[in-house]
Amino acid sequence: MRQEIEMKKKSKEDVKNETLNNFNQATLILINDFIKKVMNGAIELKDPNEFQRIFAMYMQLNELDEQNTSGGSLPELALSQKEFLDKTLKVEQDDSGEAIVDEQSLLDMTEDDVKSLMEHMDNEQNIQNYEKR
């Protein structure tokens, strides 16, 4: 009960900063623990995908914090991802040329449509990441 009252007193910015700091601390602990286990031979880097995901989250959060943005920004989509979204969803351009996805086209998607979309976007991101190596 006391925590609820304290949380209501805090501003949204305070809550955001506290959450970011807590997540960063937890992520840093996980990264350090992972590194120790790798160094001790308890974990071999045969498939570092989980570590890569944690590290990516850590870096993205810190980048957002350093930019001091209110909501942050997502990384730009690859051309193949943009093309797939254009084919899959109703996408329009606003006055500034920014692509805007029609909300109703998202709401009309079935569970299988969403699964297919996510798989395609993940695969395209994996291809893009592989090509950057």
Confidence (pLDDT) at 65: 52
Q: Which residue has the tokens 């992520």?
A: 27
Confidence (pLDDT) at 116: 85
Mean pLDDT of 111-118: 83
Between the CA of residue 25 and those of 11, 32, 58, what are the distances in Å?
Answer: 21, 11, 10
pTM: 0.40
Q: Each residue of 55-79: pLDDT tens digit?
A: 776 677 666 555 544 455 556 777 8
